[in-house]
Amino acid sequence: MQDDLEKNKPLLLSAEDSGHRLVEVCSEEVTVDSVVTTKLDPLQKAFEILYAAVVDRLGQLQMRLVQSQELDASLADVIRWLVEMEKTLSRQKPIAVQPVKVNRQKQDQEVRFDWLYCLL
């Protein structure tokens, strides 16, 4: 879109030059000059407004591109961490096949239950 506006800017300037040449040729300079100016000024202002909007939009898009790249990098770190955790967990044995740990966990829970019962 910005390229299209840049391409059309020479056309607008050419139209303005043609208008100035028309003013030079005509005998009623004041009248023709004011007519040309009143017709070209709104076009120039509209072009400048559109050009400013395109530049602003381009800046916003570039900022969002940088933000999305940062998000991609953050997600890559999270995915790496998840893959490592999955590998770690897949290598671990279930706690139920280790009777010593199961008994210790049972005893810890019984102590906590007794302590809680005493508070009530």
Interval 69-83: pLDDT, tens: 988 888 888 899 999
Domain membership flag for residue 99: no
Which secondary structure element, helix H or strand E, spans residue 97, and what is its range? none
- Separation in Å, CA 4 to CA 18, 97, 99: 22, 71, 75
Residue 113 lies in a domain: no
Report the domain count for the chain: 1
Does residue 101 form part of some domain? no
| Mean pLDDT, range 36-62, rounded to an integer | 87
What confidence score (pLDDT) does residue 56 get?
93
The answer to whether residue 109 sits within a structural domain is no
Q: Considering the domain boundaries, does residue 119 fall inside one?
A: no
Q: What angle do CA 51, 52, 54 make, to 5 degrees?
A: 65
Q: Check if the beta carbon of residue 51 is closer than 8 Å to that of residue 5.
A: yes
Task: Convert the pLDDT of each residue in 51-74 to its tens digit.
Answer: 999 999 999 999 999 999 988 888
